[in-house]
Structure 1
Amino acid sequence: MPRFTTVALAAGAALLVRRAVRRRMGTAPLWPMPALDEPVSGYGRGATVPRRVLVTGRSAPAEGVVELRLEGERLPSWQPGAHIDLVLPSGLVRQYSLCGDPADSGAYTIATRLVEEGQGGRGGSREVHEQLHPGVELEIRGPRNRFPLAPAPSYVFVAGGIGITPVLPMARAAEAAGADWRLVYGGRSRATMPYVAEVERLGGDRVTVAAEDESGRPDLAFLAQLPPETAVYCCGPDGLMAAVAAAMPEGREPRLERFTAAAPAGGSAFEVELRRTGRTVTVPADRSVLAAVREELPGVAYSCRQGFCGSCRQRVLAGDVDHRDELLTDAERKDSMLICVSRSAGGRLVLDL
């Protein structure tokens, strides 16, 4: 998946929100926004600091979808596209896009669809649906943003089902800033598509709703004719994102946000030296570093096993890493790796374990 958490994009996202607020006050400058020089981290301050929040609201914006309002003190600000790590009562860590209002500094809003384990779920969504009710206290980390909204004269947003959650704040911000935008929103049926009424009110005829039981899958052929300055953002199932990428003009790529990490490519066997414990393990081509290490050190922490949460992050003392995570910044990758998905780029790795 392409990484779009560069300094310039994150800075642009922050400015977009500030301009959206100013527009509400009647002082927004003309679009498009000028280039920015000030470097800003795409991950935000305190992105890994745990914080306590309280579930204060619960609703059902669509069939099989639960929305939660999480209130807390001194919650960090965020920009469209950001997500938080939610530590569930069982200890599982799952990532959910923020879909509320960035101006609401006292609360975060998330929404999740119930996905059964046989359908690709990993137990987190069921725990959210069954156990998280008003009054439950939780730990969160973040927000982080690997899907920031960059300044552009025009946008196309494509969302599938629960993939509307990171896209909705983007559409609100683009509308508030006076940008040219349109949204294609697909799903199995209107009843299963969260926030469908809101996006239709927000965008009017700029919003195309493609419910499969009514009109089939969305027609994406128009993407091939987009002008170069139009930025395309997509979140949804892998099939939808592949279709969007295939429909883009040659040489251009959409900006994607995945529900889960992309399937890791294969690799060769290699050795990992655990420096502090004086042991060396062999990582077969079909196993992860995490699995091999835990055979020697069962207490090594992990959670998502997909390169999202950071629980398995380890310090790298030597060796070249093939980074396959969706979390670490370029600076963090200089001396760290997520051992659940990342591997050796060639030769032995030495970890501070």
Structure 2
Amino acid sequence: MASLELPAPDRSGNIITTVGESLVDRIRSQESGPALSDHVGGSPLNVAVGCARLGVQTRLVTHFGNDDHGHLIAQHLKDNGVEVLTGGTAPTSTATATVDPDGSATYEFSLDWDLANGTLAASAAIETSSHLHTGSIATMLMPGARTVHTLLRDAREKATISYDPNCRPTIIQDVGFARRQAERFIGISDVVKASDEDLQWLYPDVSADMAMQHLLELGPALVILTRGALGPVALTRQSRIELPAYTIVVADTVGAGDSFMAALIAALDQLDLLGSSKRDDLMRLDRERLLPILRYATKASGITCSRVGANPPRLDEIGTATCPASVPQLQIRRAENHNAAHASS
């Protein structure tokens, strides 16, 4: 297959700052016995790495400790070109998963989310950011969630905001509290991405379409619902778009939603739709401009599902939203046998 010369995206000096948790997933399986394998994780961290791999200048405002797990996170972020600002004094958060023979997992969490002494540095970083993203535990777990909301609310004058609730019912079990928290962040956001599982948990008594419409009425310009094998749905004040998922051979779905979110942000950046001065353009986003954004994010999610772990694509694998590269056939392809499945988490 002929190689494709990729144009360098015109970033116009934009800086993307992601605010949220970093943690280490510790995985124990029956085969490994007492041994644990450690993997860097956390939804906001995954989004930051995904953005950086797509050529976006990216910062992460987070917390991890000065310990072995924290050093693992710091090296991972350095290797992926993400600038890091940390606050808090607690040890690095961990999630220990025990995987049963049938593939199901039980989790034990050791979590702390508090930016504490990093607030001033975070505020200074946000001052020079064109776009801010947050989500998941960082917007639910106190006291850090309160700090994150204040930082993002105060940044709206200069930056656009995106949010992914990425709900964790095993951690935040009070759905009423979670709904109130999510709606606080949705109310200050320009772009919201949620999964069908998120909306089913937050709004169990209404359809997904009704829940999306409710979210849109809270203020965002764009609401996107990811539905796995059914593909994503995007809703604006001008249009509603459904896009089929890519048919792929799935390795696993770890990090697929975060890859979707990162590529969504990168596509908006490539199309010069980020920053407070572009808020009106986002509000007027029509079907023609939205389709390549949605396709780009769906493709990124599919690539991630086609390989093991939270391993989002790089720019030379996926291209740009306006001129996509040919994706290698070993990574994403039409189904040829019974092992194929769909993805767009």
TM-score by shorter chain over 0.5: no
Query: What TM-score do you get using the length of structure 2 for normalisation?
Result: 0.31
Which structure is larger by alpha-carbon Rg, 1 or 2? 1
Structure number with higher strand proportion: 1
TM superposition score normalised by structure 1: 0.31
Per chain length, whose mean CA-contact separation is higher, i.e. which structure has more relative contact order (CA < 8 Å, sep 6+)?
A: 2
